[in-house]
Amino acid sequence: MEAAARRAGPSEGEQDGLLPAPASHAIVDSGDEEQQQQQQQQAAAAAAVLRELEAAAAGLVVVSECDAPFSTFEWPEPVIAFSPAALAVWCGGSGKSDNDGGDADADEEPPGNPNYAVEPVAAWFERAARALGPEDASTARLKQLGELMQRRLRGAVAVRVGAVARGDDDDPAGRIRVFLAGRVVAEGEQAEGDDDELGVFPAGAKVVGLETLQVET
């Protein structure tokens, strides 16, 4: 009687006397795993800092020719190192000079050189608080926001991207984007400390903070 079930015939590999290859297992490099953990920790720390800054800045405005609120900012380029110049390029800075070109001796910015200025974040907050005035109820909160940023971020700077316009009919008021940002402090690292260059952080660093707007003529 024919058997109810038959054994499957030998595979091509078995016919050649070769055993089937064992299932492959991905080998996780310990260095890669450690790097992933560090990135996850940095991302979590950045999210926590942004929540703190957003809560502290809620309802505050920057006084210029318009009153502008704060919004959170995170440097979106993990491969490109953050710097004031890189930020200006990312914003699409045109590098236009405020000069109208009529004066041959006028100092003009070379083409492609974005218009920006950078300073320690404490100096920017000091001016912003003075603009509000000591009688304003928001002045104390604005100072506290600056202090919080210095505690929670390393090397915090204010980067102003844009140009102060001439204010004539053909040139509207200058819209200056202001970025208040610093590097997220790594675990076990102190927020205080001097980096090599003002506002320059290594590629891959988590750079976060606040953004606002100033209008000047």
The tens digit of pLDDT for each residue in 112-150 reads 445 899 999 999 999 999 988 888 889 999 999 999 999
Whether 206 maps to a domain, the answer reads yes
Across 2-9, average pLDDT? 46
Question: pTM for this structure?
Answer: 0.72
Whether 16 maps to a domain, the answer reads no
Output the CA torsion 205→34→43→82 (10° steps).
Answer: 10
CA quadruple 202, 205, 208, 211: dihedral sign = positive
Whether 64 maps to a domain, the answer reads yes
Token pair for residue 129? 């608080």
CATH code of the domain covering residue 203 = 3.40.1460.10
Confidence grade of residue 39 (pLDDT, cut at 50, 70, 90): confident
Whether 20 maps to a domain, the answer reads no
What is the domain range of residue 76?
A: 31-216
Across 151-175, average pLDDT? 74
- Please tell me the predicted confidence (pLDDT) of residue 114: 54
Give yes or no for a contact between 184 and 153, defined as CB atoms under 8 angstroms apart: yes
Whether 7 maps to a domain, the answer reads no
Number of domains in the chain: 1
Whether 187 maps to a domain, the answer reads yes
The tens digit of pLDDT for each residue in 174-207 reads 889 999 999 998 666 665 655 568 999 999 899 9
**Average pLDDT across the chain, whole number:** 77
- Please tell me the predicted confidence (pLDDT) of residue 191: 58
Whether 106 maps to a domain, the answer reads yes
